[in-house]
């Protein structure tokens, strides 16, 4: 096992290419060896060092995860290994334990339950209510331009969840161990610092894996 990172973007639906581009630029800016690829099959999921679940439509994304043979099982397996994962907007919803829509109420959709959070979908309004705003984010110096498109918010979080950012009193970014979730779309901002933060998590996780394997030898 070498120190080169292989990052996968779940390519079922949503901002796949935008995340590939942002993560690729982030690797280059960090002088970190690595590659970013699209993944959609179980064998691909099992080979990566970190997974990005992109923004898109969470109900559709959950349905596709559920119906693709072996995909849900492979994602659950890498979650058990504490694989670093970042979910943006719809991706954060899919990672949550509970989710409901502020208009239609409880949504029956597949959720991975990896983040101990409850999500309110469309928390800032529908598509025409999309907006941008500067955010203070823990671990990132200077403001980050958050792009909110039919964005959710976190309305409750468990004790192991670290709140990274709030906007207008609502939680819009969280971290729980190796998992990051954002209400906004960092892949659309032209600012790669959220992806760099995620890559740092991946690098630390992989070094731990390498050290453990060397210790066993």
Catalytic residues, by residue number, are 89, 185, 187
Map residue 76 onto helix, strand or coil. helix
Are residues 22 and 192 in contact, defined by beta-carbon separation less than 8 angstroms?
A: yes
The span from the CA of 3 to the CA of 32, in Å, is 9
What is the distance between the alpha carbons of residues 158 and 57, in angstroms, rounded to a whole number?
A: 25
Burial (Cβ within 10 Å: 0-12, 13-18, ≥19) of residue 13: middle
| Count of CB atoms situated within 10 Å of the CB of 79 | 17
């Amino acid at each position: 096992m070498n120190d080169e990172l292989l990052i996968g973007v779940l390519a079922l639906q949503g901002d796949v290419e935008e995340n590939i581009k942002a993560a690729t630029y982030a690797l280059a800016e960090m002088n970190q060896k690595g590659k970013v690829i699209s993944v959609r099959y179980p064998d691909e999921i099992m080979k990566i060092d970190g997974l990005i679940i992109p923004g898109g439509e969470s109900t559709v994304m959950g349905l596709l995860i559920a119906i693709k043979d072996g995909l849900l099982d492979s994602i659950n397996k890498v979650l058990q290994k504490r694989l670093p994962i970042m979910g943006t907007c719809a991706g954060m919803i899919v990672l949550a334990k509970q989710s409901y829509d502020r208009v239609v109420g409880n949504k029956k959709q597949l959720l991975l339950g990896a983040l101990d959070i409850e999500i309110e979908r469309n928390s800032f309004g529908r598509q025409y209510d999309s907006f941008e705003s500067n955010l203070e984010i823990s671990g990132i110096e200077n403001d980050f331009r958050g792009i909110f498109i039919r964005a959710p918010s976190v309305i409750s979080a468990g004790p192991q969840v670290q709140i990274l950012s709030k906007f207008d009193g609502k939680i819009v970014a969280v971290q729980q161990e190796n998992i990051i979730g954002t209400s906004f779309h960092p892949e659309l901002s032209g600012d790669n610092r959220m992806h760099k933060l995620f890559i740092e998590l991946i690098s630390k996780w992989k070094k731990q894996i390498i050290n453990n394997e060397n210790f066993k030898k």
